[in-house]
Chain A
Amino acid sequence: MLMMTMMRKSSRQRQSLAAFLGILVMLLINSWYTRPVLAGTSLKKASLIPLWSPQSQFAGYYVALDKGIYARHGIDLTILKGGAGHSPAQSLKNGQADFAVLWLTTALHHRFAGTKLVNVSQIIQRSSMMLISRKSSGIRTLEDMKGKKVGLWGEELSIPPRTLFAQRGIKVREIPLSHTVNLFLRGGIDVTSAMWYNEYHVILNAGVDPDQLNAVFLSEQGMKFPEDGLYTLEQTINKDPALVNAFVKASLEGWQYAFAHPDEALDIVIKYMHQAQVPANRIHQKWMLDRMRDLVEPVSGKGSFGTLNRLDYEAVGGAMQREGLIKRFPDYATFTRRNNAGQ
C-alpha cells in the first residue's frame, strides 16, 4: 500500500521529487514502474561480457540487472557468458557485446592493436594481484624469486607481474598457470600469481594459513595497475552516448546496492552462478565481495568511485610502453572520452 501511494505521488510530481529521492528510494522502485518515466520509449537492448563466469567480482552488474536498475535506466541488458573461450575484448571488437569488463592493461593492448576501446568507468581502482610463495620455500622478497618457478596467467593477465619483474631486472622461470591453485599447492611451482579476492582465499581454504604464506601485493611494489574497468567501442558512444551514460550510472548504482546489501547481493550472484552451472561457494563469494569493496571504493581521497585516475592511467601506459608491450597509447581524454560521455 505504502509503495503504491508513493509511486502514484512520484508519478505525478516526478520532476520535483527526483531531486529529493535518494538512491535508496530509487532502488525500491522496480523496473515495470520505470516505463512511464521514459515516456513511451521502449528499453534499449544492450549486452555486457564480464571477464569470467558469474562471481562476486561482477556483483554490481548482476545486482543491477536483478534489481532492475538497468531497466530503470532504460536498458534491457543481457550479461553474456564469460570465462575461458569467451574473450571480452574479442566480443567487443566483433560486436557480440556492447560493453565489456577489461583490465586496463588488456584494454590498452587492444587499443594499440587497433580496436577503438574506450574506458567508460573504472571499477577496480588498483591492482589486486599478488605473488604468493610458501614461507617454507625461503622466498621472502621479490628478489628471492630470481630463477624460481613462477606461475603466470596467460596473455594480458601476466602483464603486471612481467612488467614488475622487468623493472626490477629479475629473471624468473615462467610457468603457465591454469585456473586452479593446485600446481602451487602441490609444489609444482615456487611462486603463484593470485588475485587477492579469489585465488588467495582458495589457497587459505585448502588449509594453508596466512602465516605460512609470503604474499606480495603488486600494488605495494609500485605497480598501480587498475584492473576491472567498463569498456565500449568509440562507435557505440558516438551512436548512443545516452545509452553509455545510463549503463555506467546503472552499473555504479548496482555496485553501491551490492555493497549496501551484501547478503542480498550474494544471493543474487549465487543465483546467477547456479544458472551458469558453476560451483557456488558462498563463503568464497562473500570474501570476494568484501575484497571488491576494498578495491572498488577508493581508500584515499585520490581517485573517485567509477573513475579512471589520470595518473594511474598514464603510469600504466608508460610502463607498458617501456616494456615494449605497446608503442604508444592515447591521451587520457581520448581513452576515457569523458568529454563525450558527458560525465
Chain B
Amino acid sequence: MPHLPGGIMLGNKSIVFKLILVISLCSVLIFAVTLGYNYYQSRLILEHELESNARNLAMSLVNRVESKLMSVTKVTEGVARSIETGRYTEKELLSLIRSTVAENPGISGSGVAFEPYAFSRAHRLYAPYYCREREKITFIRLEKSYQYVPYLYWDWYQIPRELGKTEWSEPYFDEGGGNIPMATCSVPFYEEIGGTRHLKGIVGVDIPLDSLTSLISSVKILKTGYAALLSRNGMVLAHPLKHAVMNETFFSIAESRHDSSLREIGKKMVRGESGFILYTSLVGVKSWMYYAPIRSTGWTLAVVFPEAELLENVRQLSLTMVAMGMAGILLLTIAVFFIATSITKPLRSLAEATKVMASGNFDVELPLVRFHDEVGVLTTSFQAMISSLKEYIRNLTETTAAKERIQSELKVATDIQASLLPRLFPAFPDRPEFDIFASMDPAKEVGGDFYDFFFIDANNLCFLIADVADKGVPAALYMMVAKTLLKSEGQRLGEPDQILSCVNNILAADNESCMFATVFCAILDTRSGEVRFANAGHNPPVILDSGGIRYLSLKSGFVLGPILDSVYETERITLQPGETLFLYTDGVTEAKNPEEELYGESRLLQAVKNVSGEEIAAMIHCIRAEVTHYANGAPQSDDITMVAVKYRGVAADA
C-alpha cells in the first residue's frame, strides 16, 4: 500500500489533487471577491464620512479666519465712516488712527492716506500710519517712508481707489510700512463738494499674515495631512512647503509639474468655488482635499487628507483578513486532503484487491466494510461478485469434466460405430465378379448413416445404404438396431422387399420415439449380374450402364419405422459386366456451400460422369473431394455416405 504522500499524489492525482485544487481555488476566489468588496465598501463609507469631516474642518477654519478678517473690515470701515462724517483736526485724526491699533491687538498697523492735496493745500501727499513694533506703537509718515513708489501706486491704495469699494489686498511684504508680510483692508472715504462725492483718501488697516497662517499651519490632520491657505491669485500663503509660501502660486506649481489638472483645480479655487477631490497634493502625495473660499478676501482654504493614511485602518484590517483567510484556506486544504485521502484509501485497497483478482486469485482478502457509503456498497458488491464467480467456476469445472467424459465416450462410440461398418477393401478379394467400395463420414462423433454388404448365399451379395433421420447418439443407436436387423433379416429372407417389410415391422412395433430410416436394399446375383432391389424412401441410386449414366428410376417406397405393414416391392435390373451402381445418402446432394446452396443432384450426376472411367474406390474419393471442395469450408451438416458396386461378370472358368 503506498502510504507515502508522493505515492498518493501520483496514484490518486485525479481525485485528491483535483479536489484540493478546485476547492482551494474556489475558496481563494470567494475570499478574494468578498475581501475586495469589503475593502471597496469600507473605502466608500470612509470617503463619504471624510467628505463631511473635511467640510466641517474646513468650514470651522474658514469661520475662524473669516471672523478675524471681518473684525478688521469692520474696524476699517468704522474709521472711514468716522473720517467721512466728522471733521477731524490732524491731532484728532492721528489719535483715531493710533487708537485703532492700540485697541485691536489683531491689527498690526493702521493708516489714512489722502489723495493729493486732499488733506491740506500745503502738502501734496499725506499719509499718517501707526504700526505695532515689538509691543510699541510707532508713527510713520508713509509719504516719506515709501522711498521709491509713492503710496498712491500701491495696491492697497490704488485698487480700492479705482474700484471705489472695500478691498483686501493680496498679501505683500510692506517695505517702508509695517515691514512684515501682511494683508491690508482698504476702505475708500469721500467728501461731498457741491453735491458730488469726491474720493478723499483710503483707510488701510493691516493684519499680519502670521496671525492667519499660524492658525492654518497649526492644524494637523492624521500624520502628514495639513491645511493650506491660498490667496486670490493662488499664491501659497500657508502650506507645509515653506519655500512655496509667498513665492509660488498654485498655478506656477502646476506649470513646473506640467500638471494641467492641478491648474484646473486652482482655477476653481480662485473662482471662489468649493469642492472635495482626490488629487496629487503639492507635496506629491495622493490625497483628498476639501477646499472652500474665504469670502471677504477671496482666498481659499484647503484641508488635505493623505489617502494612504486615511485608508490605513482599512488596509490593516484587510491585511489581517488576508492573513486569516490564507490560514483558513490552508486549513481547508489540509482537511480536503485528509477527507479525499480517507475516501480514496479503501478505493485504493479495493483496486489493489481487484488487481489480484484479475490475475485469477479469488481468495483475496477484500478490505473490511466499515461504513455503508458508496465505497462500502462497492466492496460488498465485489464480495458478492467473488462468491458468484467462485460458484460459477466450480460449476464450470464440473460441467467441463462431465462433457469431457461424454466426449471420450462418444469417441469410443464413434470407433465402435466405425468398426461396425465393413471397412476393409477390397472386401472380397476372392470374388472377381464384382467390386464394391464404400465410405462414410459422420457429421458428428456418431452418425445416422450406414451401409452394409454381405453374402446371403454363395452367389447373392446383399448391399444396402441407409440414412436414419436425425443425427448423433439417438440416430447412432437406431442405426445399430436397423443395421443389425437388416443384416439378420437379409440373411434369413434373401429378398429385398421381404427384408424391408420385416425390418419395418420390427422397428415400427416398438417405435415410441417415432424414429425412422430410409434404406435402399439390393441383392446382386453375382452369376447373372441381376440386381433385385427395394427402396424404403431412399434417394435413387445412379446407374452407369450401356444406357448412360443416370438416376435409376424406382419406386420410392415408405421409410422404415413409422408405420407397421408398409409394403415394399422388389424391382430388377441387370448389370452387364463393367456396369456400376452408385449409392449415396442425402448428405451428398444436400451438402451446402457457405452461400447455403445445395450441392444438388445434377452436380452429383455430372461428378459421377466426370469420374465414370475410374475404379470405384477412386470414383468415391473423387466425388468426396468434389463435395468437400464445393462445401468450401462450410460445416458438414449431415453424414456423407457413398457405396459403389461394379459388376465384372463371371469369369470364363466359372
A interface list, Cβ under 8 A from B:
83-85, 149, 175-180, 182-183, 185-189, 204-207, 209, 279-284, 286
Contact = CB atoms under 8 A, between A and B. Distances in A.
Contact of B155 (A175, A180, A280, A286): A180
A126 to B, nearest CB: 25
Given A178-B158, A182-B159, A283-B252, A206 B247 contact: no
B133 to A, nearest CB: 20
B252 A178 contact: no
Nearest to B247: A279
A205 B234 contact: yes
A276 to B, nearest CB: 13
The list of the 5 closest CB pairs from A to B, nearest first, reads A84-B148, A188-B162, A85-B148, A206-B233, A283-B256
Contacts of B267: 207, 209
- Which one of B153, B163, B246, B248 has the highest number of Cβ atoms from chain A below 10 Å of its Cβ? B153
Nearest to B175: A84
Given A186-B163, A207-B267, A281 B252 contact: yes
Contact of B249 (A183, A205, A286): A205
Contacts of A286: 256
Interface in B236-258: 246-253, 255-256
Contacts of A281: 247-248, 252
Interface of B is mostly: helix
A206 B249 contact: yes
Nearest to A181: B233
Contact of A207 (B155, B247, B248, B270): B270
Contacts of B247: 279-281
Given A176-B152, A186-B167, A187-B163, 6 more contacts: A180-B155, A188-B159, A188-B161, A205-B255, A283-B255, A283-B256
A182 B153 contact: no
Interface string B3-18: 0000000000000000
A280 B256 CA distance: 14
Contacts, number: 79
Nearest to B270: A207
A182 B184 CA distance: 13
A107 to B, nearest CB: 21
Contacts of A179: 149
A284 B252 contact: yes
B233 A207 contact: yes
Nearest to B266: A207
Contact of B149 (A84, A186, A187, A279): A84
Contacts of B148: 83-85
A314 B386 CA distance: 127
- Which one of A180, A206, A207, A209 has the highest number of Cβ atoms from chain B below 10 Å of its Cβ? A207
Contacts of B266: 207
Given A280-B247, A281-B247, A182 B169 contact: yes
Interface of A is mostly: loop
Contact of A182 (B170, B234, B246, B270): B170
Nearest to A84: B148
A82 to B, nearest CB: 11
Contacts of B161: 188
Interface string B608-635: 0000000000000000000000000000
Contacts of B248: 281, 283
B155 A183 contact: yes
A175 B163 CA distance: 13
A183 B170 CA distance: 10
A207 B234 CA distance: 7
A115 to B, nearest CB: 21
- Which one of B154, B155, B172, B250 has the highest number of Cβ atoms from chain A below 10 Å of its Cβ? B155
Contact of B256 (A85, A176, A282): A282
A281 B158 CA distance: 25
Given A188-B162, A205-B249, A206-B270, A177 B234 contact: no
B147 interface: yes
A185 B233 contact: yes
A188 to B, nearest CB: 3
A91 to B, nearest CB: 14
Contacts of B147: 84-85
A207 B250 contact: yes
Contacts of A279: 246-247
A188 B263 CA distance: 25
Given A186-B159, A188-B163, A176 B153 contact: yes
Interface in B214-239: 232-234
A284 B256 CA distance: 9
Nearest to A206: B233
Contacts of A205: 234, 249, 251-252, 255
B229 to A, nearest CB: 16
Interface in B147-188: 147-149, 152-155, 158-159, 161-163, 167, 169-170, 172
Contacts of A282: 256
18 contacts: A84-B147, A180-B155, A182-B170, A183-B155, A185-B232, A186-B163, A205-B249, A206-B233, A206-B249, A206-B270, A207-B233, A207-B250, A207-B263, A207-B269, A209-B267, A279-B246, A283-B248, A283-B253
A177 B158 CA distance: 9
Contacts of A186: 159, 163, 167
Interface string B107-141: 00000000000000000000000000000000000
Given A84-B149, A185-B233, A207-B270, A175 B251 contact: no
Nearest to A189: B162
A177 B152 CA distance: 10
A160 B153 CA distance: 21
Contacts of A149: 162
B162 A175 contact: yes
B586 to A, nearest CB: 122
B162 A178 contact: no
Nearest to A180: B155
A63 B134 CA distance: 41
B241 to A, nearest CB: 13
A176 B149 CA distance: 11
A204 B161 CA distance: 25
Contact of A180 (B162, B163, B170, B256): B170
A178 B169 contact: no
B157 to A, nearest CB: 9
A282 B243 CA distance: 11
B243 to A, nearest CB: 9
Nearest to A178: B153
B163 A177 contact: no
Nearest to B245: A279
A273 to B, nearest CB: 10
A177 B252 contact: no
